[in-house]
Amino acid sequence: EAGVVQSPRYKIIEKKQPVAFWCNPISGHNTLYWYLQNLGQGPELLIRYENEEAVDDSQLPKDRFSAERLKGVDSTLKIQPAELGDSAVYLCASSSAGGDNEQFFGPGTRLTVL
Partner 1 sequence: GEDVEQSLFLSVREGDSSVINCTYTDSSSTYLYWYKQEPGAGLQLLTYIFSNMDMKQDQRLTVLLNKKDKHLSLRIADTQTGDSAIYFCAETPGSSNTGKLIFGQGTTLQVKP
> Which residues are near partner 1 by CB under 8 A?
4, 31, 33, 40-45, 48, 56, 91, 93, 95, 99-108
Query: Residue 84: phi, psi to the nearest 5?
Result: -55, -40
Q: How far is the CB of 41 from partner 1 (least distance, A)?
A: 5
Report the amino acid identity of residue 75: S
The CA distance from 49 to 29, in Å, is 11
CB of 16 to partner 1, least distance (A): 28
Q: Which is nearer to partner 1, 17 or 41 (CB)?
A: 41
CA 52 to chain centroid, in Å, comes to: 14
